[in-house]
Amino acid sequence: MDKKDLRIVYMGTPEFAVESLKRLVEGGYQVVGVITMPDKPMGRHGSVLQPSPVKEYAVSQGLKVLQPEKLKDEAFLDELRALKADLQIVVAFRMLPEVVWNMPRLGTFNLHASLLPQYRGAAPINWAVINGDTETGITTFFLKHEIDTGEIIDQVKVPIADTDNVGIVYDRLMLLGGDLVVKTVDAILAGNVKTTPQEELAKVDELRPAPKIFKDTCRIDWTKGVKPVYDFIRGLSPYPAAWTELSQGEASPVMLKIYESAKIFCEHALQPGTVVTDKKTYFRVASTDGYVDILSLQLAGKKRMRVADFLRGYRHTEDTCVR
């Protein structure tokens, strides 16, 4: 079968999923439908509906778009069947019911932003950086009942530099993901896919999960040591951002988001969370084995700024700390 005759249904929502869809469209593959999340209410009263990045791109290309509230809804399933897809591709979407992923004759494959079976879950890129990994990657695999557990089709490994934050790794994996999706489609078309059960790879290392990240997840624990805190900050930068509370005497604590830091290893007698600053050029926080040197941050209600700009309007007192 020629790629122009292969009927593909694509499923995805965020910016990460746009690159792979774009590569398919520009590569001349026949995308007969795009499934994405319903438009998201925005604004003070929720009166403005914001389409997903995938929908915006699909509409710009004149592709058919479906936005079901529920994936088991009969009306949606009828529309999906009518597309007569040979293959479905999922990139950063939702957990699919079997009636959906089992529909096309060639199956449904997913692009996941980790080296499965490591980091199954919603936030694999964040957790790889938070955990200080020096390598991550992308995986394509066929869907089955349990989430992120299907047989692996292909993988690409990517190094993580000590200075990379999650935004840098995200962009790198997004671009490589487009390459891998096209490569996987071509392998399926050629009929030469050789899959590997994840159980065979799971024996190598202890499996690390990648659960969804919430606000409380992003709070910094200054007792964990300089390197873990440094990795935590870059693993949440630029979004959703690690945070702490800046406390001074009897004044109410203020939320402080931290985007960029540096490591200073040394001995000291200060309690973790103690702030040390010259009030002009540096703002450091004590940890158990040194200091985390804060380079860029954001106070609640303010814009992100470099630490020198922050210190111009900041009054340091002896009891200043973060917690």
- Which tokens is 15 given? 């910016």
- Which tokens is 172 given? 């790198």
CA distance 104 to 143: 12
Q: Is 116 annotated as a binding residue?
A: yes
Token pair 């050029």 is found at: 281
CB under 8 A, 24+ apart: contacts of 50-56: 52/13, 52/14, 53/13, 53/14, 53/15, 53/17, 53/18, 54/10, 54/12, 54/13, 54/14, 54/17, 54/18, 54/21
CA distance 199 to 146: 13
Q: Is 114 annotated as a binding residue?
A: yes
Q: Is 117 annotated as a binding residue?
A: yes
Contacts for 46 with CB less than 8 Å, ≥ 6 apart: none
CA distance 117 to 286: 36
Q: Cα dihedral angle (141, 144, 150, 151), rounded to 10 degrees? A: -80
Q: Is 63 annotated as a binding residue?
A: no
Q: Are 291 and 285 in contact (CB under 8 A)?
A: yes
Binding-site residues sit at 114-117
| Residues tagged in the binding site annotation for (6S)-5,6,7,8-tetrahydrofolate | 114-117
